[in-house]
Amino acid sequence: MQITTEHCPAPVPPPGSRGIDEILAAARARLDRLDPERAHLAYRSGALLVDIRPAAQRAAHGVVPGSLAIERNVLEWRFDPRCPARLPQAVDYDVPVVILCQEGYTSSLAAAALRDIGLRRATDVVGGFAAWRIAGLPALGPTPLHRAYPLASPVTAGWARH
């Protein structure tokens, strides 16, 4: 017997809880998100570009030269001006911070968390590092994501994009 969603219905969420899609939409509603080109201009104008991806992801996909690598699990501690573990750049609540993740999802949640701390100018990059590379903006590391893949048979063509 094959198990399907009919046999395993989704659990009933607790009252007051929100799904991740709702949480993400609420976070993004609070941000003036930047496309990669606008993010690059902000960075060149003095905004801090913060890469929150894990080290393994940065190694596998590349990095933006000069960006700060601050993994997601310590972000709030490093940017809260009240916190003794803050970075030297976390001087006040008006510091422009642009968060970068791989595809632009986690970065929205992280930027909203910085807004909660009081960083009024925190935002993120639409499409993340993947969109940054596709836009041809400065990056170091592996071959850009928009490279052409060798032809594959129609049966396996869908798998070649991963």
pLDDT, one tens digit per residue, over 4-57 is 656 778 899 999 999 999 999 999 999 999 999 999 999 999 999 999 999 999
pLDDT band at 129 (very low <50, low <70, confident <90, very high): very high
CA distance linking residue 119 with residue 92, whole number of Å:
8
pLDDT at 157 over 70: no
pLDDT band at 142 (very low <50, low <70, confident <90, very high): confident
Q: What is the pLDDT of residue 135?
A: 97
CA distance linking residue 114 with residue 78, whole number of Å:
10
